[in-house]
Chains A and B, each alone.
Chain A
Amino acid sequence: MESALETASQNASPSLSRLKPLTGIKIEVAGQPESSGCGTTGGEGKASCGTSDGPDDMSPEVWEKVKNHPCYSEEAHHHYARMHVAVAPACNIQCNYCNRKYDCSNESRPGVVSQKLTPDQAVKKVIAVASEIPQMTVLGIAGPGDALASPQKTFETFRQLQEQAPDIKLCLSTNGLMLPDFVDEICKYNIDHVTITINMIDAEVGEKIYPWIFYNHKRYYGREAAQILTERQMLGLEMLTARGVLTKINSVLIPGVNDKHLYEVNRAVKSRGAFLHNIMPLISEAEHGTVYGLTGQRGPSAQELKEVQDACMGGANLMRHCRQCRADAVGLLGEDRSDEFTLDQIEQMDVVYDLEKRRAYQENVEAERQAQQNAKHTALATVTDRAEDNMKVLVAVATTGGGKVNEHFGHATEFQIHEITTTSTTFVGHRRVDLYCQGGFGEDEQLPSIVNAINDCHAVLVAKIGACPREELLAAGIEPVDAYAHEFIEKAALTWFADYRARVAKGEIVHKERGDAAIRQGAFMAA
């Protein structure tokens, strides 16, 4: 029985006939043992999120590539920044969660169009940002369409950057349809990191996600389209693994469509050498004008998302800290500084690319990072209460970066969520919230939505909090904690938890399970 790809190749131009269907392909991974990069140690399966690994869990070459990449290393994302340039406007497929009039609504500001850039403009912008923000280590081309649907623009940008800014890591994101055709080109520019958006490996699931693809001068629909897409994605992934390129797989979790299926996807991509699996929640609202938004397909709740992520542990390593950033995002953590770097503003800047200054700054960052790790290990080592009750809680943390509890509750645009037991603290995700403090006075209407976003947490660690929100949180059963302001997050969380357990043991408080939390669906209210 012919695969859709075979049929398509016979009907189309000769260049397609060199493609073979997936079965029967075996691509040797050059020189890398199976478990490199995905090596798991400690407890059952990997403790989530990209890797908080030190070098002992993976080969030195791989660690070199990921340690400063904010997406590939959970730890790095507290200290390093990335940037995207919107040079690739065309796309060769249609997804039900995308409205082409705007950027992808699964990104942080649905309903807003990125300023399209030519390669020359993009390069200028990158140099300007890299000089202003020395902890920016990664430049990615992620859209606004598909990076490989406009390959000339994408690779011209990479070519110039390879010359002018050689210390910046280059990163590319694609739907994978054209990926096999460009693996050579990707390797030519030393692009170390490629992200492929893979939402399914079964065309029956795929036809509910992808109405059509445009491939080889023809539009394909329904199941045939999904079949071609998945075959090309898998082939592309295998080819990249064989060349030693690190791959991250992004999957959009669509409840009722691919939620159970993502477990299969996780295993399938792991067996083909994917380094990371990033399962992101679908963002879907009618005002985004997407098919899912208009037909009422909802995104997952925080617990639903966590359940799928937890179920996938032990397979491909999970990334849990994805910011779902725009194709023109600039910055660290959840902040977007792209407003400072519009084309007009860049024209005004006197930009010189200072490699030494960047290296010096990054060395400082490394020292900070080591300090944070030390604090965490010390805190873990001093835990004396090793009770057997497996008590596990989530805490929310307000932070501006550097791994410390250093943000005011009212200024937080997002909270980091950590899962704590007596012997461990694990970063499990983040929740974006609207700004509570607008112009210095609390906006009481927004407080309920913040409570919803962190409703599954027992406590929220902040540097400071006003009286009114403090009361509301207590009423909702969430303990506001400002006693650990400016301390390292893990140390603060563990210390608070030890204190909490002591209070429970004394009978001062009763430990209760928390409910579920909501993932923000609407657009950011802040500028």
Chain B
Amino acid sequence: MAYKIVGSQCTGCSACEPECPNVAIYEKNGVFLIKPEKCTECLGHFDEAQCVAACPVDNTCIIDTAYPRYQAA
């Protein structure tokens, strides 16, 4: 139930961090990371995942297939 940020591609621009409705994004060592337990894929908040929409680098903020997809309660 989460998006993840590909660290090697992240430019550290911080555009995603303030957009997350669940405050799931934090900075570490110059790049940004998403706490998977907090990510709801923006369901119930917005039509599209905000971090993905804000991210300027293609294929950097992507679905993390290690986690099951989020289902709204």
| Residues of chain A having any CB pair with chain B under 8 Å | 89-92, 94, 100-101, 116, 144-145, 149-150, 214, 217-219
Contact = CB atoms under 8 A, between A and B. Distances in A.
A218 B19 CA distance: 11
B57 A101 contact: yes
A75 B46 CA distance: 51
B53 interface: yes
Given A217-B53, A219-B53, A89 B48 contact: no
Given A90-B15, A91-B13, 13 more contacts: A89-B12, A90-B54, A91-B15, A100-B11, A100-B13, A100-B57, A101-B11, A101-B57, A145-B13, A214-B15, A214-B53, A214-B54, A219-B48
A90 B19 CA distance: 11
A145 B53 contact: no
A364 B72 CA distance: 69
A116 B13 CA distance: 9
A149 B15 contact: yes
Q: Which 9 A-B pairs have the closest CB atoms?
A: A90-B15, A219-B53, A100-B56, A89-B13, A90-B14, A90-B13, A214-B54, A100-B11, A217-B46
Contacts, number: 40
Given A100-B11, A116-B12, A150-B14, A91 B48 contact: no
Interface string B30-73: 00000000000000001110100110110000000000000000
Contacts of A217: 19, 46, 50, 53
Contacts of A218: 46-48, 53
Mostly, the A contact residues are loop
B48 A145 contact: no
A101 B9 CA distance: 8
Nearest to A219: B53
A219 B56 CA distance: 11
Interface of B: 11-15, 19, 46-48, 50, 53-54, 56-57
Contacts of A101: 11, 57
Contacts of B12: 89, 116
A506 B29 CA distance: 71
B54 to A, nearest CB: 5
Contacts of A92: 15, 54
A111 to B, nearest CB: 14
A491 to B, nearest CB: 48
Nearest to A113: B11
A214 B53 CA distance: 7
Contacts of A116: 12
Contacts of A89: 11-15
A149 B15 CA distance: 8
A91 B12 CA distance: 11
Contacts of A90: 13-15, 54
A218 B54 CA distance: 8
B8 to A, nearest CB: 11
30 contacts: A89-B11, A89-B12, A89-B13, A89-B14, A89-B15, A90-B14, A90-B15, A90-B54, A91-B13, A91-B15, A92-B15, A92-B54, A94-B56, A100-B13, A100-B56, A100-B57, A116-B12, A144-B13, A145-B13, A149-B15, A150-B14, A214-B15, A214-B53, A217-B46, A217-B50, A217-B53, A218-B46, A218-B47, A219-B48, A219-B53
A312 B19 CA distance: 41
A100 B11 CA distance: 7
Contacts of B57: 100-101
B31 to A, nearest CB: 12
A214 B57 CA distance: 13
Nearest to A149: B15
A145 B47 contact: no
